[in-house]
Amino acid sequence: MALSPFVITLVVIATIFLPSIAMAKEIVVGGDHGWTIGFDYAAWAADKTFQVGDTLVFNYDVGKHNVFKVNGTLFLSCTVPPASEALSTGSDRIVLATPGRKWYICGVAGHCSAGQKLVITVQPQTQSPTLPPSPAPALSPFQHRPHFGRWVPKRLFTIFH
């Protein structure tokens, strides 16, 4: 079965774009521990990469914890913003929309200072999808046909190579 140019085009497009789509991931904060006290979120985050497009998921028992997105100053001092800014569904999802440092704390009294705080650095999305290695240079009909070298005038042969 000969592959039609249409099929080949589809395969090439899929190869180029699928990896960048598949790369957006869902990251459960704290893994199986979820969002809680007595867990080292700095150590947890240390070996992970966060990228624009990824989603953070904070899992916890409703009412026991909550999530506030804060800035670096509030993060350091564990200052809790107004309650109206809390996320509190027990399974809060935050899409990382922009690159840079992001800070999250629990607003329940004492939890942030007990270590329930997360700081991450979000990387920009991969700029251009990786192209297949060395796209074939515009192939002249003379390439891969060494016998042409015998009768193609030397100047012309040089031009084509």
Task: Enumerate residues 6+ apart whose C-beta is below 8 A from 19.
Answer: 129, 130
Residue 7 or 76 having the CB closest to ligand NAG: 76
Q: Does 84 bind ligand NAG (CB under 6 A)?
A: no
Measuring CA to CA, which residue among 121, 123, 114 is closest to residue 35? Answer: 114
Q: Considering only residues 37, 52, 74, 152, which one is a binding residue for ligand NAG as defined by CB under 6 A?
A: 74
Query: Tokens in use for 108?
Result: 């329940």
Phi–psi pair at 98, nearest 5 degrees: -135, 155
Query: Tokens in use for 50?
Result: 């966060």
Residue 52 or 87 having the CB closest to Cu ion: 87
Query: Tokens in use for 140?
Result: 């002249």
Residues 44-73 binding ligand NAG (CB under 6 A) are 71-73
Measured CA to CA, the distance from residue 4 to residue 11 in angstroms comes to: 11
Region near Cu ion per CB under 5 A, out of 39-47, 102-110, 124-132, 150-158 = 102-110
Q: Does 78 bind Cu ion (CB under 5 A)?
A: no
Give least dist CB 118 to Cu ion, A: 12
Find the largest Cα–Cα distance for the chain: 87
Q: Does 119 bind ligand NAG (CB under 6 A)?
A: no
Residue numbers of the site for ligand NAG (CB under 6 A)?
A: 71-74
